[in-house]
Each structure stands twice: as C-alpha cells, then as structure tokens.
Chain A
C-alpha cells in the first residue's frame, strides 16, 4: 500500500529552526508537496519538489531525495504564527495526492 510518514508533533522555540521530515512509499512519484494548515482552516500550499535538492522560498525551504524516498521542510526564524500543522503529500503515478497525517508544530516563546 501507499504510505506517508511524518512526525505527529514537534515543538520548537521562537526564532529557532525546525526540520520536519517526510518519508514515503508510493506507486510512482510525481512530486512532493508541503502544505500548511492552521486549525479550522483549509491547507495552503507551501512548496513543491520534483527534482532532488533544496528549494528555498523565504524562511521556508524544502528538500527532496528521490533515491531515499525522503524529503523535509525546513522552517527558519520561527515565528509564533508558524504554529500550525504541516502536511506532506506525494503525487503518485496517477497524479493523485497521497497525504500524510500531518505534523503539528508548536512554537514556544
């Protein structure tokens, strides 16, 4: 079966850096996505990796290693507003998104 693994919860301090890992087992691969979801709201798109390497967008960066079926989301200079759930999703060979359960990120002052 298809599976996405990411930590259930992480805690970090304001101003620090946190890395959220994601490993996957899917039928084919057409990209790894990260979404941010605040409680009670719909997810918002953060990043998309289809080639190996690091993609940087402001304070957020996303990394992909296809040979390891692994990626991560790196959040720098954490702010209180970054407290949210972060969803990892992989697009399979049918171009369907397979979702992880999400990582709840708690930011402490």
Chain B
C-alpha cells in the first residue's frame, strides 16, 4: 500500500512559538492532501484541503492565518501552527490521495502540546 510519512510524531513547544509539521507521500504522487485535527475521543475534523501548486481550501471556522498550509510539491505538504497557544494542543493528522476517487492514506499523526 501507499505510505504517508508525517513528522514529527510528537512536539512540545512554548506558547507563542510556531511549529511546522510535514506530510510526505513516500511512494506515490499525491494530487490532494488533507489536514485533520482530532480532539480526544472525537472523530477527525477536516481543517483544510490542499492541492499541489494552489492555495489550500480551509473549512469554516479554521483560521488560515494561524494554520498555514503549503503544498509545494506532489509529495510534500506542510502545516505550520503559528503563534501556538495551549488550546492548539491536539492530534494533527494528514492524509494524501493519488486521485479524486481513491482512498486516503494517513500519516502517523503529530501530537502537539503547547505549554
């Protein structure tokens, strides 16, 4: 199956700093990548959809200036949490798809803790 690598798996940062999370499709080209946030015991909440070479489409209620998404190539998308605050602490997961009607493969997820 397809492999999606997400890095780092865990990160602790101080309030006010920025954190970058990388999502790479290792053995396929991902036309679309998705970023999710998951709170404890809840389902995935889609934050944004990014297509290579174009601006990300953010879901309602997600601050695009706070959660910067870059999809510079067909194998790499990054999520930067800017000026992080404790309430941003969460589990962030990326997924990637080869094409519009294919299944999504997930990265390992990143546990972000803001102190």
Q: Is the CB of B103 within 8 A of A99?
A: no
How far is the CB of A52 from the nearest CB of chain B, in Å? 17
B1-51 interface (Cβ within 8 A of A): 1, 6, 34, 42-44, 46, 49
| Chain B neighbourhood of A44, CB < 8 A | 106
Check B112 for interface membership: any CB of A closer than 8 A: no
Check B74 for interface membership: any CB of A closer than 8 A: no
Separation of A48 and B6 alpha carbons in the complex (Å) = 23
Among candidates A33, A41, A43, A45, residue contacting B1 with C-beta atoms closer than 8 Å: A45
Contact flag A42-B43 (CB < 8 Å), given A30-B101, A97-B104: no
Separation of A43 and B106 alpha carbons in the complex (Å) = 7
Check A71 for interface membership: any CB of B closer than 8 A: no
Q: Is the CB of A87 within 8 A of B1?
A: no
Q: Is the CB of B43 within 8 A of A45?
A: no
Band of interface residues on B: 20 to 34
Chain B, Cβ-Cβ closest to A104: B41
Majority DSSP secondary structure for residues of A touching B: loop
A38-93 interface (Cβ within 8 A of B): 40-45, 48, 87, 91
Q: Is the CB of B103 within 8 A of A87?
A: no
Chain A contact residue count (CB 8 A cutoff):
20
Separation of A15 and B101 alpha carbons in the complex (Å) = 35
Interface centre among B105, B106, B107 (most CB of A within 10 A): B106
How far is the CB of B36 from the nearest CB of chain A, in Å? 9
| Chain A neighbourhood of B44, CB < 8 A | 43, 87, 99
Separation of A45 and B97 alpha carbons in the complex (Å) = 12
* Pairs across A and B, CB under 8 Å, 9 listed: A33-B104, A42-B93, A42-B109, A45-B105, A48-B103, A97-B34, A97-B104, A99-B46, A101-B43
Q: A41-B108, A87-B44, A99-B46 are in contact. List 10 more A-B contacts (CB 8 A).
A: A31-B101, A33-B104, A42-B93, A42-B109, A43-B106, A48-B103, A87-B43, A95-B100, A95-B101, A97-B104
